[in-house]
Amino acid sequence: MHRVYQTFIDRLAESADVTSLRDSMAETIRALDLSCFAYLCMSDRRRVAPQLISTYPSAWTAHYLKNHYERFDPVIIQALEDAEPFEWGLSSSTIIRSNPQRELFEEAAKFGISYGFTVPIHDGWGPIAAVTFAADEHRTATFSRRIEEHRHVLQLMAIRPACKSFR
């Protein structure tokens, strides 16, 4: 575990752009036996689109941003309300509060994003950022075990100061 995280830190220090940050995150989550991630940074200015670094399917991320789903995404709303990391899924009645939110989760599931672990980032660099590690419904049990095994490393990866170059 220590070696995986140290390699991540070393690669992050060498990162010169968003692509190298994405590649560093992707390589590290593969080493932790996780499938995909999304780093979403909301702007502190109105009408400015959020920035996204992700290994989610590009068709989903383009659709998500085009339709401004960040405005009512229950994961983003939860991340805004609480700085504590949390798990979520289609059956998460605690964060899904409306039919449009449920429909968003159902749509995401069609792209293989059914369950996740999100680390909110509240640090003064902007209103909010969040890093989500996600899986499809077929990997839920394995995903949950990996999250429990690597929870602290995932939190450190999410808040690592070198990521501020993106924000």
> Residue 19 is part of a domain; what is its CATH number?
3.30.450.80
Q: Which domain holds residue 85?
A: 2-165
The predicted structure's pLDDT at residue 125: 60
> Stretch 29-42: mean pLDDT, rounded?
91
Decide if 107 contacts 90 (C-beta within 8 A): no
Contact (Cβ atoms closer than 8 angstroms) between residue 156 and residue 133:
no
* Token digits of residue 89: 């899924």
pLDDT of 27 above 70: yes
Task: Domain count for the chain, please give it.
Answer: 1
DSSP structural state of residue 5: H
Identify the band that residue 107 occupies on the pLDDT scale cut at 50, 70 and 90: very high
DSSP structural state of residue 50: P
pTM value is: 0.88
> Residue 161 pLDDT > 70, yes or no?
no
Tokens 């909301």 map to which residue? 42
